[in-house]
Structure 1
């Protein structure tokens, strides 16, 4: 590992000044481009009425973001609020059973969202990797885990497995791939940990408690089995000093980020402009630079909001989840090891 040293304050200030000026210049060009294209025919599908009282339309090209905060908002709030409520009651009444409460509530939420057959499909993957872990061969566990992941990307296996989902809805494909992919990653983490420590004798119940923890189930982040098991097994968890304040601060930052994105999409149509290549080809270089940078930052904000909400709930459950992804502006190397810290922990294990 290299030695890390802080840059001089004057140098950091100079870099920040140059970056701020460049972003302001690029943002001005992008704002003008958004205003010019607001009434184009190609923009009609994804630029919808927004703040009518000031004549602003809104970029709604990202259907996932729109679904999270419109039709699925109440479902998400209801499910996570129920999780927090039951977790608190269980911690007060029977703290030794809280890990079971997490698993049962998560499994019921999966059944309510995706149907019982989808739950059976995931249980099949869990049991398969658990059985292989009993052999104590890490290469076999990793091989089966990779094969299971591949089965959700290759036909006809993907078509067959997607048929286990009950009904159809807007985010069905996203939830299917998210729940399935993260399930395999979690099961692989469990299997490798079992092989590394055969003396600990982890059970299938431990795997199910780990996999069906609802806040992490569909969208992550990945928390390795050893960390999750050690933290969730604490009978009388104790919060560190100032922990509740940090939880409230994180929740507040998530709300601020959501509002900021909503405001941003009323002025900058960064997701719609790339869909009209004829219009994009006429943009000046400054606007194109702002467009590219804005899309990268939006991907980070989207992940940070998702992880922020989930991590807030996890911290209320006395867990220490992986930290949110780093802002790409602050990275000198853009890689998964820096962006998604949960995946990085999983790969390192």
Structure 2
């Protein structure tokens, strides 16, 4: 890794901004102290790659309301429980009598629903192309097993439309492409954007060495519309066809609302007609209204503002008392910036 650090510090081109669009990359960059290894001319900014962070408040408000309906349990991963909606979080809803259960896999819902046929289990289906195949598998198995008391409240999004939204702003010189997403989609999904905007994309793994190699590759390809696959052990150009086919069977593209961005056409996934009976009312959840109007999570999410630029950062907003989604998730840029400022595991 020493050789990579030396090589990247020798960059003598104009100042550049590279954006990572993967929450796991955001965490890995912080944990490996990547920013401290770069010359001043290379700046890293975090993009809308944390699925929890880009989930709008209307969706969270709907989950809280569902948790308080009779004979209904909302099921979620732990990272969503404390994300603020417009008036509170799922954890707050649970404290007020809502029924909320944390799981580690969506497939646990099959067992819960099978053992409790009089209860409706609503899974908070949040994610990108990485998790959509798991939700498709859940739906297919529920259908095959005749389990009818499972519902999904979907907030599923796809990467290319939001990356194009960033490209159109013209403030980024290259992308650290999302490794997990690329396993499913293949690296070729970024080729049209690279060619259209003449920007390099580098698919990377999650070690410090892999990230540095990708950043070095981006500097060498500055101004060229090319896609580098620096994670060939798990990412191919064509991706996982079986996973994509499962998603295509259950979901269709739709417009989606992104926290801090607004509505992006064709950037979401909705249940197809054959599976609509499993929907928990996902349509129309577009409103995005921060409970604390001073929160600048929206600007942080798209690289317009560094976390420390928010007036709440480290004061009213900490991991113990988060005011915005970027401080809640362990993939959030504010969370890692706070740890860095406090001398935690991130640097």
TM-score, normalised on structure 2? 0.23
**Structure with more of its chain in helix, by fraction:** 1
TM-score by length of 1: 0.23
